Structure 1
């Protein structure tokens, strides 16, 4: 069973997996910005995943696609947007 969640700056794709742990996939295209900006977005999403993976309700494959404007977000904004989207759909325990 999978789920697709749209936020203003990200598309989140979640799919249950049969392994024992959650996995992360990232797609940040050149539309987001230059290499420095793309790497910063990826670092922040990885850090969110690392901190929050124990709160996932199921073992899932978590794939994030960054949209235009994601590079303009601060660390806190990225965390808040991802957390709010996942909590609203019931995939993350508060």
Structure 2
């Protein structure tokens, strides 16, 4: 994803945490905040408790980014959201990540058309 689609600054992360709403399933937590902007922005967080090595954490982040890239046309363009991985995310493959993350995005109301169920 291009840099304009990312939330990187601590102040922006904190604004979504403080003023946004949250939903969760077993593997992901989504914090989201509606804003007027041309496209969505996303922040991804995978803590050291989830994947003990940087290789594992980066793999989880790649799976999340790829899922968001595939869902880009369906995502609400007027939202900032954070995807936070939980412990179970380390056991998921790409298909499992896609299914679980799309479910969490649907719970948050960020997907326009939701077909898959967990």
Query: Which protein has the bigger helix share?
Result: 2
The answer to whether the 8 A contact 2:46-2:57 is kept is yes
Runs of 4+ displaced beyond 4 Å: none
Matches within 5 A, 1:41-80: 41-80=60-99
Q: Once superposed, what is the RMSD of the aligned Cα atoms?
A: 1.6
Report SS of the residue matched to 1:8.
Answer: coil
| TM norm structure 1 | 0.87
5+ residue gaps, structure 1, are none
Query: Which protein has the bigger strand share?
Result: 1
Q: CA deviation at 1:57?
A: 3.6
Q: CA deviation at 1:62?
A: 1.8
Rg comparison, structure with higher value: 2
Quick one: higher RCO (CA 8 Å, sep 6+), 1 or 2? 1
Q: CA deviation at 1:58?
A: 4.5
Taking structure 1 as reference, are residues 91 and 72 closer, same or farther at Cα in structure 2, changes over 3 Å only?
A: same
Aligned residue pairs total 94
Q: CA deviation at 1:54?
A: 1.7
